[in-house]
Each structure stands twice: as C-alpha cells, then as structure tokens.
Chain A
Amino acid sequence: MEALNLKVDSVHLEFDGRKILQDIYLNCSKGEVLGILGRNGCGKSSLLKIIFGTLACTHKYVSINDDYIVKGYHNNRIAYLPQHNYLPGTIRIDRLAKMLVDEVYWADFSSHPIYQQHQLKMAPQLSGGELRQLETLMIIYSKADFILLDEPFTHISPIQAEEFKHIIRNCAKTKGIVITDHQYYNVLDVSDRIILISNGSTKPIHQPADLIAYGYVNHIN
C-alpha cells in the first residue's frame, strides 16, 4: 500500500483586513484520522475549503507526497463534505452514488440501510437527516485518497454518529481523513490526533486537558 501524506502549510486568509488564518500547519497520512477543533468563526471550514481548492486565499501550500496541489479535487485526490447539501436534486440517488463511490467500497456502501431505502429517490424527496447521512457516506466511501469532513455528526442521531465513527475508522485504513465538528467528544473519539485552531493558528493537542488550557472547553467528561 502506497504511503501518502497530505501537508498543509503557510495558509494566510483574510476577510476585510481581518486575519482569519495566518500560522497554519497540518499533515495527515493515509491510515490516519486527524481531528480539527476550534470555536465558531475560527476558520475550520475555510481551511478545509482552501485544502479542497474552492476558497482562494492570500497564500497556501498544499501538497500530497510533496507534490504541490492547486485544486485538491482534481483527479480525485481529495474529497470534501461541505456543511450544506450538495447532491443535485434532479438525478436519482443510485445514479449519483455510482459516480462518487469507490468500487472497492461499493458493497459496503450499497448494503447500508439508508442507501437501500432511498436509492431510487431524488435528493429533495429525502428528509434533511436522511440526505445528510447519504451525502456523508458517499464522501467517506469516495475514490479520493484524502477525505475532508465538515461537521459530519451534525443533523444525525447519536446512534448514527456511533455507526459513522465505525465507518470512518474502517475507511481510514486506506485513506487519510480530516474531520471537524462542534461535537468535540465525537471528534476526540474517532481521531488519532487533534489540532486546535485558535487565533488563526494551529496548536497540537497532546491530551484533552490542553483543550481546557486553550479555553476551548471548560471541562471534559
């Protein structure tokens, strides 16, 4: 199995003169789940969009195995689960899924109850939660080497979150996964490593108590 390493460095992002991201460094290897935590508006989603290639910034360095990447999505190197729904509403779910999901994972994906139940429907016929589950699964099981998940545990029930964590861990055997969510306990649970974005820069978190020290949480259960 080829070793792959996603490296993100020197990201500078400003909105209206306000520095959002300025001292960013992260790396994620194939076989690893990297969790990103941070307060609202700290730039977590923006960072994922910059890595994916859909948000322009002042400066960035994104590479896979030291090959500079301009647009992360080109040639299925990186897939990204945005916070909003992204499936086109005029095409059946099964047809959409076949274009995204990796053949290697097709049996796992297609046997999932949510797909079994809704594969012949179109996106607007599903509830918000059902659609979110399907969209998340399609990204996790996609062909990309690296997966960026922006709030995958939002809009789904605790039982489904547990199931997703199991799927993420399983897929991380062959991919690198970067995950961010405000449900920090789920992120802590599923991640191999954690970084916190605070004041525009990344801070490695070595133990949960560091999150208290940086003022991200008051206490950890």
Chain B
Amino acid sequence: MNRLFTLICHFYKPIAFINILFTGLSIYAFIKNGVEHLSIPSILKLFSYTVVVGYQYFFSAKSYFYFRNAGYSVRSLYVRVFVLDFAAFLVLIIGTYFILWKH
C-alpha cells in the first residue's frame, strides 16, 4: 500500500500544477457563479483531466514505462489520481460553500 501511494505521488507530481491550477479556476468560478451554477466549476474540473492526459501523452508518455515496470497500468494510476484529486476538489467546494454562504 505504501509503495502504491508513493507511485501515485510520483505519477501525480508532473501533473499537479495543472490540477491545482484548474482547481483554483473552478473554485473561482464557483464563488463567482454561486451554488445554482455548480455545473460550471464541475465541468471545468472534469475538463482539466482531459488536459492532463493530453499533456502527459505529448510531453512525458515515455515515462509510462517506469510505472508499468513498477507493475501498474497507466490507466489504473490515472483513475486513482483523478479520484483523489476530485475528492480534494469536492472538499474545497464544500468548504468554500460553508465559509461563504452558510457562515
């Protein structure tokens, strides 16, 4: 489990800045548009995963072999990374909602 977590961190590191950037943009969109338009930050966040996959494919697809040689498929690592990232995004959205509108 520890090894898998470390590999997920290694996999996430080069794409972290894209995810963090889009999370920031999504939170901003959420603050600007309110709860009624929750679909806007959600779609923006989901779009970021397409950007991440495209970025990795064009700039560091060769490093996929490192993760395969560690015994994991790239698809399974993407799924884990995106699930964790989206969970963090939801926590931030809920936190923002409580701070701005329920406080």
Tell which of A30-38, A55-63, A93-101, A172-180 binds the partner: A93-101
B69, A89: Cβ atoms closer than 8 Å: no
Determine the distance from Cα of A52 to Cα of B3 in the docked complex, in whole angstroms: 22
Question: Taking A99-B7, A100-B70 as contacts, is the C-beta distance between A86 and B65 under 8 angstroms?
Answer: yes
Determine the distance from Cα of A61 to Cα of B60 in the docked complex, in whole angstroms: 30
B69, A88: Cβ atoms closer than 8 Å: no
Within 8 A of A (CB), among B52-72: 60, 62-66, 68-72
Tell which of A17-25, A75-83, A112-120, A197-205 binds the partner: A75-83
Least CB distance from B41 to A in Å reads 28
Least CB distance from A72 to B in Å reads 9
A144, B69: Cβ atoms closer than 8 Å: yes
* Complex interface bits, B1-31 against A, C-beta within 8 A gives 1, otherwise 0: 0010011001001100000000000000000
Which chain A positions have C-beta within 8 A of B39?
none
Number of A residues whose C-beta is below 8 Å from B? 29
For residue B73, CB closer than 8 A to chain A, the reply is yes
Question: Taking A88-B14, A90-B14, A95-B10 as contacts, is the C-beta distance between A142 and B60 under 8 angstroms?
Answer: no
A99, B63: Cβ atoms closer than 8 Å: no
Q: Which residue of B lies closest to A138 (CB)?
A: B69
Determine the distance from Cα of A138 to Cα of B65 in the docked complex, in whole angstroms: 12
A86, B69: Cβ atoms closer than 8 Å: yes
Least CB distance from B87 to A in Å reads 23
Determine the distance from Cα of A82 to Cα of B65 in the docked complex, in whole angstroms: 8
Which chain B positions have C-beta within 8 A of A132?
none
Determine the distance from Cα of A143 to Cα of B68 in the docked complex, in whole angstroms: 12
Question: Taking A84-B62, A99-B3, A99-B6 as contacts, is the C-beta distance between A90 and B13 under 8 angstroms?
Answer: yes
Which chain A positions have C-beta within 8 A of B69?
73, 79-80, 86, 100, 138-139, 142, 144
Within 8 A of B (CB), among A126-149: 138-139, 142-144
Which chain A positions have C-beta within 8 A of B72?
73
A-B pairs, 6 with minimum CB distance: A86-B65, A76-B71, A73-B68, A88-B63, A79-B69, A90-B14
* Chain A to chain B contacts (Cβ below 8 Å), 22 pairs: A52-B68, A54-B65, A73-B73, A74-B73, A84-B62, A86-B62, A86-B63, A86-B69, A87-B63, A88-B13, A89-B14, A89-B63, A90-B13, A98-B6, A99-B3, A99-B6, A99-B7, A99-B70, A100-B69, A100-B70, A138-B69, A143-B71
* Further pairs besides A53-B68, A73-B71, A99-B10: 4, Cβ < 8 Å: A86-B65, A89-B63, A99-B6, A99-B7
